[in-house]
Amino acid sequence: MIMNRSCSSNAYFWLMSFFILSVAVRSQLSPYFYAKTCPDLFGIVRREVQNALKNEMRMGASLLRLHFHDCFVNGCDGSILLDGDEDSEKFAAPNLNSARGFEVIDRIKSSVESACSGVVSCADILAIAARDSVQLSGGPFWFVPQGRRDGLVSNGTLANISIPAPTDTLDTIISKFNNVGLDHKDVVTLSGSHTIGRAKCASFSKRLFNFSEIGAPDDTIETDTLTELQNLCPESGDGNITSVLDQDSADQFDNHYFKNLLHGKGLLGSDQILFSSEDATATTKPLVQFYSENERFFLMEFAYAMVKMGNINPLTGSEGEIRKNCRVVNS
């Protein structure tokens, strides 16, 4: 096909306009959403997250993970924060005895309500708290688009289906990301979250003893790491004991997670397969390698990927509601 210069730049212009418009229309979120209605919002959230981290550094990781588990189930609508019965998200397999930080969100919400009552959604508070958690752990800053409204249902069945499990294959993990509009690059970039936080023995102990029914440990685990983890998590021991996800710098938001993967030191099965599985060669492995050598790129792309994740299917306008209490829908 022959195209003259003006025609091709014209096409480029329309393509870019379309792209910018569709992003704006699709997200309908803005970093200035509460500039007039709740000007102190950022200061309030920052102070509360700071206090929580002073008390327990791990809480930053827990708040980041809550935002992820919120966004993957019916979009970022604060649904994970709702109390409920055994069919609710809190009781679903990925969250039960594992998701934490709800009391911190309650504290932030009540401070925000004192300053500007009935204005700020729980979904937005969670998105801002996740950003502050990353930054206060030494990670990047980004502007958090806001204007999400709170959902009315918590769907545990959907949480079971949508949130990736540490025992999933790489294909399954990538397709669970695809289902919410994220790609295989986002899998790698966002998995970099595991540079902070902890996991229970129950989340990875299968790898240590009887992996995939072969009656032997996962052979992608480095030998000293294997011995340490077997001692921490004996086969018949308490599955609630925890290990740091990044043994190199547990609470520091850096690229050591990726360096670890190069040396067989990923904690979860879903971590190590990003580098070691056969399927990884054509999908995730090159980016793991790249991030392990380029911390700045990782931190920058992490910020972009968090905005992308935060844009998953938000309720906007008059959809949903602004919850008064993050644990219950307004009556």
Ligand X SMILES: *[C@@H]1O[C@H](CO)[C@@H](O)[C@H](O)[C@H]1NC(C)=O
List residues forming the annotated binding site for Ca(2+).
Answer: 70, 73, 75, 77, 79, 89, 195, 246, 254
Per the structure block, which two tokens stand in for 16?
């870019």
Q: Is 24 helix (H, G, I), strand (E, B) or coil?
A: helix
Tokens 């019916």 identify what position?
Answer: 74
Q: Which is nearer to ligand HEM, 193 or 292 (CB)?
A: 193
Task: Please tell me whether residue 164 binds ligand HEM under the rule CB under 6 A.
Answer: yes
Task: Please tell me whether residue 310 binds ligand HEM under the rule CB under 6 A.
Answer: no
| Distance (Å) of CA 297 to CA 41, 76, 106, 249, 290 | 29, 26, 34, 19, 9
Residues of the binding site: 70, 73, 75, 77, 79, 89, 164, 194-195, 246, 254
Task: Please tell me whether residue 239 binds ligand X under the rule CB under 6 A.
Answer: yes
State the greatest distance between any 2 C-alpha atoms of the chain, in Å, as a whole number: 71
Task: Please tell me whether residue 58 binds ligand HEM under the rule CB under 6 A.
Answer: yes
Task: Please tell me whether residue 202 binds ligand X under the rule CB under 6 A.
Answer: yes
Residues in contact with ligand X, shown as a per-residue x/- string from 94 to 123 under the rule CB under 6 A: ---x--------------------------
Q: Which is nearer to ligand HEM, 173 or 233 (CB)?
A: 173
Which of ligand X, ligand HEM, none has residue 93 at its interface (CB below 5 to 8 Å by kind)?
Answer: ligand X
By CB under 6 A, name the one of 62, 146, 155, 270 that touches ligand X. 155
By CB under 6 A, name the one of 112, 122, 190, 229 that touches ligand HEM. 190
| Distance (Å) of CA 289 to CA 127, 218, 225, 262, 270 | 29, 21, 20, 7, 16
AA letter at 221 = I
| Distance (Å) of CA 279 to CA 189, 207, 272, 284, 293 | 17, 19, 12, 8, 22
AA letter at 121 = S
Catalytic residues: 69
Cβ at position 68, least distance to ligand HEM in Å: 4
Contact 131, 142 (CB under 8 A): yes
Per the structure block, which two tokens stand in for 129?
């708290």
Residues in contact with ligand X, shown as a per-residue x/- string from 287 to 306 under the rule CB under 6 A: --------------------
Per the structure block, which two tokens stand in for 244?
């740091």
Task: Please tell me whether residue 158 binds ligand X under the rule CB under 6 A.
Answer: yes
Query: What does the binding site for ligand X look like in residue numbers (CB under 6 A)?
Result: 87, 92-93, 97, 153, 155-158, 160, 202, 210, 213, 215, 238-240
